[in-house]
Amino acid sequence: MKARLLFGLLLCLSIATIASAQALQIYPDAKLDQGLSSGASRGGMHVDVYTTTASFEKVAAFYKAIYKENKAAEGPRQIQGSRNAVFILDGAPDVLSSKHYLTVKEFGSSTNLYDTKAGQ
């Protein structure tokens, strides 16, 4: 009986974990940049970099409607002269404990999306 209860509890926890992780919805006109992606992945983190000519405001608003924005990065922040917004895709409380998050960065007339996943 205890084994069944334990199995049921573990099954529920597994389903909750899977449900909280979300697949990245790619911004409509963003394109995967293989060159930037291969240079961005390191240290146990896999990064796919997408680029778009859409404004930072449009891209950030698109993702804000879908995902939780990282509390520490709330609101567009200025980092090295470009705006930056971070969205958590795996239900983690913050980006430091997240295993899957998206960074939206403004670079001149383009916007880059960094889809970052741990352990891949």
Q: What is the dihedral of CA 10, 13, 14, 17, to 10 degrees?
A: -160
Specify the residue for token string 């529920």: 12
Structure tokens at 87: 């969205």
Domain count, the chain: 1
∠112-25-95 over CA atoms, to 5°? 65
pLDDT 10s digits, 66-84? 998 986 654 445 556 678 9
- The sign one gets for the Cα dihedral 112, 61, 28, 67 is positive
In a domain, 7, yes or no: no
> Which stretches within the chain are classed as H helix?
2-20, 34-40, 56-64
88 contacts 67 by C-beta, under 8 angstroms: yes
What is the value of pTM for the model shown?
0.75
* Mean model confidence pLDDT for the chain: 80
pLDDT 10s digits, 101-110? 999 999 888 9
Q: Quick one: 59 exposed, middle or buried, by C-beta within 10 A (0-12, 13-18, 19+)?
A: buried
In a domain, 5, yes or no: no
In a domain, 11, yes or no: no
In a domain, 53, yes or no: yes
